Amino acid sequence: MGQAAAFWIMAVVIVVAAFAVIFLRNVFRAALSLILCFIAVAGIYITLSADFLAAVQILVYVGAISVLIILGIMMTREVQKGSPVNKMQIPAAIVAALLLGILVYVVTSTPWSISSQAPLTPTTMPLATKLFSENGFILPVEIGAVLLLAAILGAIVITREK
């Protein structure tokens, strides 16, 4: 019962945060709502016993992508005004409604089979060992982190007021 309740709480948080991203006029607050949505998705992964995916979600999306989005917002002027109204709202709403209809049809017509047994072997530790061992991908991850830090510092120096 506790896991199901946590799942539904996280699902509601994801939907509310996604609507906040769409409808908030302040771009910075919309980015913060996007971060909340990413964190709630990591919570969903935790309720599904996918610990490694939750850790990757936090590191990649909450850590890297959100920092880049907020940095991009902070580099722009007129953050308080938000997005200007354009003439594509009605066509975008039509496309979004069509996509929603297709997704609802696919989800409801697919025969979802759920296993009643847990996986026989854990997948989190072997995957983490493969990715972050000496022969794995630790060096590219570290190089990416250093490049991201350099890009952020460069952007701060470029946009700093004189």
The CATH code belonging to domain 2-81+121-159 is 1.20.120.1200
The sign of the CA dihedral 126, 127, 130, 132 is negative
Average pLDDT over residues 20-29: 85
Q: What pTM was estimated for this model as a whole?
A: 0.62
Q: Tell me the three state secondary structure of residue 52.
A: helix
Ranking 40-49, 92-101, 104-113, 149-158 by mean pLDDT, the lowest is 149-158
Tokens 């990649």 map to which residue?
60
Tokens of 121: 């072997």
Tokens of 76: 């722009």
- The Cα–Cα gap between 136 and 154 comes to 30
Percent of the chain with pLDDT strictly greater than 90: 25
162 pLDDT more than 60: no
